[in-house]
Structure 1
Amino acid sequence: MTLHGVLPVRKPKGFTSHDIVGKIRRLAKQKRVGHTGTLDPEVEGVLPICLGQATRLAEYIQDMPKKYRGSVTLGTATDTEDQTGQVIEKVAIHNLPTESEIVYAMKSMVGEIEQVPPMYSAVKVNGKRLYELARKGEVIERKARRVQIYDFEFLGMDRGEKPTIHFTVTCSKGTYVRTLCVDLGKKLDLPSHMSYLIRIQSGSYSLEDCVTLEQIETVANTGDWQSILHSMGEAVSTFSKMIVSEAQEFAVLNGKALQVEDPPETKDGLIRIFSDTGRFLALYREKEKGLLIPEKVFRDVE
């Protein structure tokens, strides 16, 4: 049986996102499985996995904001910008920044900012991934990328031997939180690195929605996948919704444009189309007022 839907997985440390995809592919006996945004091996948290026709929605889920909770340790910098790397700079801190100084620095980083991808990243330059070059000791020039920081909140600070700031951040896809931590340190005139990170939300899914690998293995033995699989329509719930008549449903499933008098308001132009029985049929885009054209049609999903 082919499964269609999204599985929000709580990825543990020590696994790549690709590892999780491979594991679910084997357990669910499905060929079409994909994730919606890479998490580094030492980062845990929400990783939505798409199965079957839901893989066609992965690009939209991946574009949705993500929220993390993490820690940045001051006084020490590493080559990977996180706790897994080699120390490249260490200083004694005589005067710790105050809470107000930290909050001010964080607020200054909210909005559209530019980030230079770290050398230890999967970004390709001239056909080679940066981490492959970094492992050879090479450092090359990287182009800055624009990302959006929606919120960067101070949660508290440990003022011990290794002063550590705790935070949450909501950001766009493509944001390197490691680099954000290093840049925060620079604003405080201190070397720093990210010492902990967990993704607590990805698009519509939070940690509370997630299942563990152990739970997935149990379901694989019972075959009750529907008990943990989230519907495709729910996966893109930030898009507007429209219910169509039986006659319109036939047109939608055949990829026809729809002319409607009162289309739902939409910020991004995309509208989820449902039948009057609740079946998710398609994603349509409003081309002009009242004229909706198909973007993705899901005729093979009951």
Structure 2
Amino acid sequence: MDGILPLWKPRGWTSHDCVMKIRKIFKTKKVGHTGTLDPEVEGVLPICIGQATKIVPYLMDTKKVYIAEVQLGKTTETEDSYGEVVETAEVNSMPSLEQIDKVLQSFLGDTIQIPPMYSAVKVNGKKLYEYARANESVERPKRTIHIYSIDRLMVNEEDHSIKFQVTCSKGTYIRTLCVDIGKKLGFPAHMSFLERIKTGSFDKDGSYTFDDIHQAQEEDKLQKLLQPIVSGLNHLSQIEVDEYIKQKISYGQKLPMPDKIPESNPFLMMHQDELLAIYQLHEKNEHEIKPVRIFKAL
């Protein structure tokens, strides 16, 4: 079987746990996820199966949408509610809605983030959380992330929390965003809730729980849960080719630059709604395009 399974990852499972479970259910080793979610977080986790594993890097490069909650008054070593408290402050009164909205909107566009120590970002071949657990200090790399939209959903005066929805680029740490929001509001803070409701074109409403998957397995309908590979590549432009070019693509050949330069790079080569390959501009020859992924007929 080939396709993308829009999984609703349950709380308490690692992304790797989900991959291992899907491998057993679909009886294949060719399974990969498209963006790690922390064990305590539930949400949309597209799982690529069969030939769909070829597009994992491209699907990871899509926008993500989260519902998050920042709680003011304390920050933790892990920047969420599961770590040890490292700083506290009294929140005698919540910031006004105008203040909150102004701070949230200040994060729109490109933002520099420093990933949390308890994260899987690698420095010198070693994950940051490994340094943290060994009480070793290391300089964390700064990264540029992009916030497309961020909006307040609810403010809870009793527990000093602010729930918001954010659309962001890959590589964004919502835990760190929550801490930074707290700083701008004048308080230590941490992330107290997180749920990913959309990854690329896959959203919560169109995702399947493991209960749904088990039921489909019993009814021998697993294939019906899979979305076509091209559905994970909606953010890439497409070039329609004829039967002659289709044959060349099947052989993995380089091709002349098309008359109309594609808007994205890489881009999809299509023939009558069939995904043939992913191509990109040739770095050394401006008159050619070259294949980076070729798909067998499905």
Would the TM-score normalized by the shorter structure come out above 0.5?
yes
TM-fit CA distance, 1:139:
4.0
Q: In structure 2, what residue type is equivalent to 1:283?
A: I
Q: In structure 2, what residue type is equivalent to 1:242?
A: I
Moved more, 247-256 or 18-27: 247-256
Contact 1:219 / 1:225 at 8 angstroms: preserved in 2?
Answer: yes
CA distance in structure 2 between the aligned counterparts of 1:24 and 1:289, rounded to whole angstroms: 42
Match for residue 241 of structure 1?
Answer: 238
Kindly indicate whether residue 256 of structure 2 is the aligned counterpart of residue 256 of structure 1: no
Q: Secondary structure of the residue that 2:95 maps to in structure 1?
A: coil
TM-fit CA distance, 1:165:
0.4
Match for residue 127 of structure 2?
Answer: 129
Contact 2:112 / 2:144 at 8 angstroms: preserved in 1?
Answer: yes
TM-fit CA distance, 1:241:
2.2
Q: After the TM superposition, which residues 128-167 of structure 1 pair with which residues of structure 2 at under 5 Å, given as runs? A: 128-160=126-158, 162-167=159-164
Kindly indicate whether residue 32 of structure 2 is the aligned counterpart of residue 26 of structure 1: no
TM-fit CA distance, 1:250:
1.0
Identity %: 42
Kindly indicate whether residue 177 of structure 2 is the aligned counterpart of residue 180 of structure 1: yes
Contact 1:241 / 1:273 at 8 angstroms: preserved in 2?
Answer: yes
Moved more, 285-294 or 169-178: 285-294
CA distance in structure 2 between the aligned counterparts of 1:261 and 1:147, rounded to whole angstroms: 32
Match for residue 196 of structure 1?
Answer: 193
Cα 1:293–1:133 shift into 2, 3 Å: closer
Contact 1:262 / 1:290 at 8 angstroms: preserved in 2?
Answer: no
CA deviations on 1:251-281 (whole Å, 9 max, x unpaired) are 1111223347643x633223322223x3211
Match for residue 262 of structure 2?
Answer: 266
CA distance in structure 2 between the aligned counterparts of 1:40 and 1:226, rounded to whole angstroms: 28
Q: How big is the alpha-carbon RMSD for the aligned residues of Structure 1 and Structure 2? A: 1.9
CA deviations on 1:202-225 (whole Å, 9 max, x unpaired) are 111111121111111222233322
Cα 1:156–1:266 shift into 2, 3 Å: farther
CA distance in structure 1 between the aligned counterparts of 2:118 and 2:140, rounded to whole angstroms: 12
Cα 1:270–1:126 shift into 2, 3 Å: closer
Residue from 166, 169, 194 that aligns with 1:169 = 166
CA distance in structure 1 between the aligned counterparts of 2:136 and 2:98, rounded to whole angstroms: 38
Match for residue 209 of structure 1?
Answer: 206
Aligned residues: 296
Contact 1:119 / 1:139 at 8 angstroms: preserved in 2?
Answer: no
CA distance in structure 1 between the aligned counterparts of 2:212 and 2:139, rounded to whole angstroms: 44
Cα 1:253–1:108 shift into 2, 3 Å: same
Residue from 88, 91, 103 that aligns with 1:90 = 88
Match for residue 280 of structure 2?
Answer: 285
Moved more, 183-192 or 283-292: 283-292
CA distance in structure 2 between the aligned counterparts of 1:218 and 1:68, rounded to whole angstroms: 28
Q: Structure 1: which 5+ residue stretches go unaligned?
A: none
Match for residue 275 of structure 1?
Answer: 271
Q: After the TM superposition, which residues 99-138 of structure 1 pair with which residues of structure 2 at under 5 Å, given as runs? A: 99-138=97-136
Per the normalisation by structure 1, the TM-score is 0.92
Q: Structure 2: which 5+ residue stretches go unaligned?
A: none
Q: After the TM superposition, which residues 212-227 of structure 1 pair with which residues of structure 2 at under 5 Å, given as runs? A: 212-227=209-224
Q: In structure 2, what residue type is equivalent to 1:231?
A: P
CA distance in structure 2 between the aligned counterparts of 1:261 and 1:191, rounded to whole angstroms: 54
Q: Secondary structure of the residue that 1:56 maps to in structure 2?
A: helix
Residue from 69, 73, 76 that aligns with 2:74 = 76
Moved more, 174-183 or 100-109: 100-109
CA distance in structure 1 between the aligned counterparts of 2:142 and 2:200, rounded to whole angstroms: 25
TM-fit CA distance, 1:102:
1.1
CA distance in structure 2 between the aligned counterparts of 1:289 and 1:144, rounded to whole angstroms: 33
CA deviations on 1:57-77 (whole Å, 9 max, x unpaired) are 000000111110110011111
Q: Secondary structure of the residue that 1:94 maps to in structure 2?
A: coil
Q: In structure 2, what residue type is equivalent to 1:270?
A: P
CA distance in structure 1 between the aligned counterparts of 2:195 and 2:20, rounded to whole angstroms: 21
Cα 1:222–1:126 shift into 2, 3 Å: same
